[in-house]
Structure 1
Amino acid sequence: MADPKLLILSGSLRKGSYNRMLLALAAEAFGPAEVTDGDLHLPLYDGDLEEAEGVPEKVQTLAAQIKDTDAIVVGAPEYNKGITGVLKNAIDWVSRVPGSAFKDKPTVVISASAGRTGGETSQFMTMSCLTQMQARLIPGTAVLIAGAMNAFDEDGQLKDETSRKLLVQRMEKLRAEVA
C-alpha cells in the first residue's frame, strides 16, 4: 500500500516561522507519508476579482491538494488574539471552489506562538472556520506551544518532552484515521 498523503498548511508565510517548525515535526511524527506543503501565498479574497477573472489558479491548486490528500495538519499561529489573515484568506478562497474541498478530511490544528497561551484563540477560531467547511476535526488535547521563541532547540526540535509526546500522540491519532 502506498504511503498516505499528508497536507500541511501554515498560517504563517515566514520561512523560519515557529509554526513551520512545528509542522515539520508533525509530519515527521505522522510517519511515512507523501507530504505536501500547501502554498498560502494567495491574493486577498475579492468578490470583484472572482467575478472578473474567476477563482485564481493558485487557489484552484490548493483546493485540489486538499481534495486529493488523506489528512491535513494546520499550523495556526496567533496574531493579535486571532486567526492570521493568511490562513483565513486561504479558507475563504477555498470555500469559493465548487466541491467542498475540506469535507470529511481528517484534520488536526496545532499552534506555536510567542504568547503565553500558545495560540489557543487562533486554534479555536481556525477549528470553527474548518467546522463550517465540514473538515473532520480529530479530537484530542490541544498542541499549544507557548513562548515559541524559546520552545525549539537549535536543531528545530521541541525542548519540552511533554509537548513532544503530545504532538506524537496527535499525529498517531491522525494517522490511525487514514489507515
Structure 2
Amino acid sequence: MKIVGIGGTLRDGSSTERLVAAVLDACASMGAQTQMFGGSALKALPHFNPESAERTTGERALVDAVREADAVVIGSPGYHGGVSGLVKNAIDLLEDLARDAHPYFDGRPVGLVVSAAGWQATGVTLAALRGITHAMRGWPTPLGIAVNTVAQKPFAADGSLADPEIAAAVAMQARQIMQFAKGAA
C-alpha cells in the first residue's frame, strides 16, 4: 500500500506539512509505504503550464508518485479562506493524470488536512479541498482535519503531536484511508 502526502508552505516544517506527515506516519505504522512532498518539494515546482509537454524532475516525481499511489493526503494552509497557491499548483500538475486508466484520484481515498489562524479559514478551505477531490474523482475521507493554530497548540517542543484531540483525528483519518484503500484494491 503506497500513500503520498502533498502539503506545506514556503516555510519548511510548517504546521500543515507536519500534520500531513503525522497522517502519513500513522499510515506507515499500519504497514503503508509513504512518500511526502512538503514545502521544499512544492516550492521547487514551476507554475503549472498545461500546454507544455516538458516537465521538471520534481514535476515528474510528484505525478509518478500519485499515479502509483493507493491513497493521497493533501494539506493546505487556509490562506484568506482558500487553498494556498503552492498546494493548488501541485494539484493542478496532476492534470497529467487525466488520460490514465485511473485518472486523477479515481477510486482512491484522499485525506484532507487544513491549518489556519482561525476557524473560519479552516472550514472554508477544507470545503474547497473536498470540492477539488470530488472534481478529481477521489473519495475524501469522512473525517477532514481542521486545526486552528491560534486556538489549539498542535505540537510539543519536540515536534510530536501535543493535542490529544488532534492526535485522535490524525489516527482516525489514517484508519479511514487504510480501510478504504484496502477495500478498493
- TM-score tier by shorter-chain length is 0.7 to 0.9
Structure 1, unaligned runs of 5 or more:
none
Q: Is residue 2:78 matched to residue 1:81? A: no
Structure 2, unaligned runs of 5 or more:
none
Shift of 1:59: 2.6
Q: 1:14 to 1:114 in 2, by over 3 A?
A: same
8 Å contact kept, 2:8–2:15: no
**Deviation by residue 1:26-58 (Cα, 9 ceiling, x = unmatched):** 1222223211113323111235xx34xx14133
Shift of 1:11: 4.1
- Give the TM-score, by structure 2 length: 0.82
C-alpha distance in structure 2 between counterparts of 1:118 and 1:160, whole Å:
20
**Deviation by residue 1:109-142 (Cα, 9 ceiling, x = unmatched):** 01222223462221211221121111122213x3
- Within 5 Å, which residues of 2 pair with 1:1-179? 4-30=1-27, 31=29, 32-38=31-37, 39-40=41-42, 41-47=44-50, 50-51=51-52, 54-57=53-56, 58-97=58-97, 98-99=99-100, 100-117=103-120, 119-140=122-143, 142-147=144-149, 150-179=153-182
8 Å contact kept, 2:63–2:96: no
Moved over 4 A (4+): none
Q: CA RMSD in A?
A: 2.0
Identity of aligned residues (%): 23
8 Å contact kept, 1:19–1:112: yes
- Give the TM-score, by structure 1 length: 0.84
